Chains A and B, each alone.
Chain A
C-alpha cells in the first residue's frame, strides 16, 4: 500500500518566522504530482502548492515553497513570514493506485502560529 508519512503531529512558530513541515511518501508511479493541502478550523481543504516530480525546480507560491528530494521521496513545505491565518492542519498527499488518479494523504501536522 502507498504510504505518506508526516512525522510532526504538531508544530508551532512565532509570527513572521519560518517553519518547515516534513513529509515522506512512497509511490510506484513514474511521473506524478505531489500536493500540500491546508485545513483551517473551518474544515475546508485548500490546495496550497503542488510539485511535479519531473521538475527539478522546487515549486513556490508566494510565502509557500517546497523542498523536493525525489530520490529520498521527501517533500517538505516551507512557510516564510508566518501569519496568524496560517494556523491550520497541513496535509501532504501523493498518488496511489495506477494512473495517479487517487491521492493518499498523510495524517497531518497541526501548525499553530503564535502572535
Chain B
C-alpha cells in the first residue's frame, strides 16, 4: 500500500486566490481527518469524515474553508479566498475500521504559503 497520499507537497499562492489540497486515504480506511499544523497552535483537527460523510467540522476556522469527500478514495480541502494567516502545514490522515487501536496513518502533508 502506498500510504496516505497528499498533493501538492508545497503550495505558494497569493492572498485572495483559491487553494485546493488533495488527499487519497489508504484503501479500506473508513475515517479521514484533516489537520493543520502551525508553530503557535500545534496540530489542530479541522474536520473528519466517516464513510465519506462529514462528522465534525467544528475545527474549520472560517467559512473560507470547506472540505469534501466525494468517494472513499479522495478528499479535498479548499480555502477560498486564502489569507496569509492560512500559511501552515496541512495533514490528511486515515484510520482503519475498528476501535482506533492502530492510530492514524498520516500523509506527508502540504506546506501552504500564502503571500
Chain A interface helix/strand/loop/mixed: strand
Contacts of B43 in A (CB 8 A): 91, 105
Number of A-B contacts (CB under 8 A): 53
Chain B interface helix/strand/loop/mixed: strand
Interface size of B in residues (CB-CB distance below 8 Å): 24
Interface size of A in residues (CB-CB distance below 8 Å): 24
Provide the bound-state CA to CA distance between A37 and B42, in Å: 13
Per-residue CB contact flags for chain A residues 11-48 toward chain B (1 = under 8 Å, else 0) read 00000000000000000000101010100001111010
User: Which parts of A88-115 form the interface with B (CB within 8 Å)?
Assistant: 91, 93, 95, 97, 100-108
CB-CB nearest in chain A for B58: A97
Are B48 and A101 neighbours in the complex by a CB distance under 8 Å?
Answer: yes
The 8 Å CB contact of B103, one of A31, A50, A108, is A50
Whether, in the assembled complex, A52 has its beta carbon less than 8 Å from a beta carbon of chain B, the answer is: yes
Contacts of B55 in A (CB 8 A): 101
Whether, in the assembled complex, B61 has its beta carbon less than 8 Å from a beta carbon of chain A, the answer is: no
Whether, in the assembled complex, B101 has its beta carbon less than 8 Å from a beta carbon of chain A, the answer is: yes
Q: Which B residues form the contact surface with A (CB < 8 A)?
A: 31, 33, 42-43, 45, 48, 50, 55-56, 89, 91, 93, 95, 99-106, 108-109, 111
